[in-house]
Amino acid sequence: MKKKKRATAKTPTKSYLTNKLDQSCSLITRSKGRCVKCGEQRYQQLQCCHIYSRTYKSVRWDLLNLLCMCASCHRWGHNNPCLFTEFVQTYLGAEQYEELKARAEPTSHWKIHEMQELREANESAMKRLGVWYRK
Ligand SMILES: [Zn+2]
């Protein structure tokens, strides 16, 4: 019988690191503490919104691509893509918006060691921000 590969902190797999990076980026984004659209501050309402969806691997964990939004504004964004794009252009400003577009274009394949480095960087940022994964 084939032994099932288990992810541990010592031998991380891509899916383990993907999970950790999704979680750490979300925590860092939500630590901003308020919805970028309506100003909602109740933490339970805050979500991490991807401007370019998670399928755009090159910016999946790029903080420029992530917005702290409340559940209701997040839903609004997905239901109104044209208005959402206008909102993002205004929120980021022309320069950052163009920067994000440029970063989102190349299809990128993350290497394990790159994911590991980003995970370590995120976890030090989380320590500074005083946020951590749910137990
Ligand atoms: Zn909101």
Q: 114 and 12 in contact (C-beta within 8 Å)?
A: no
Assigned domain for 19 exists:
no
pLDDT digits (tens, 9 = 90+) for 7-49: 555 778 999 999 999 999 999 999 999 999 999 999 999 999 9
Span from the CA of 14 to the centroid of ligand 1 (angstroms): 32
Span from the CA of 68 to the centroid of ligand 1 (angstroms): 9
Residues in the chain: 135
Write out the two tokens for 5.
Answer: 């590969």
Span from the CA of 67 to the centroid of ligand 1 (angstroms): 11
Range of the domain at 40: 29-129
Assigned domain for 20 exists:
no
Assigned domain for 72 exists:
yes
Assigned domain for 22 exists:
no
Band (pLDDT 50/70/90 cuts) for residue 98 is very high
Q: What is the pTM of this model?
A: 0.81
The whole-number pLDDT of residue 11 equals: 75
The whole-number pLDDT of residue 110 equals: 87
CB proximity list for 65: less than 8 A, separation 6 or greater:
50, 51, 52, 56, 59, 100, 103, 104
Assigned domain for 54 exists:
yes
Q: How many domains does the chain have?
A: 1
Span from the CA of 51 to the centroid of ligand 1 (angstroms): 15
Span from the CA of 86 to the centroid of ligand 1 (angstroms): 16
Tally helices (H) and strands (E) across the chain: 4, 2
Instruction: Calculate the alpha carbon distances from 64 to 89, 102, 107 in Å.
Output: 12, 12, 17
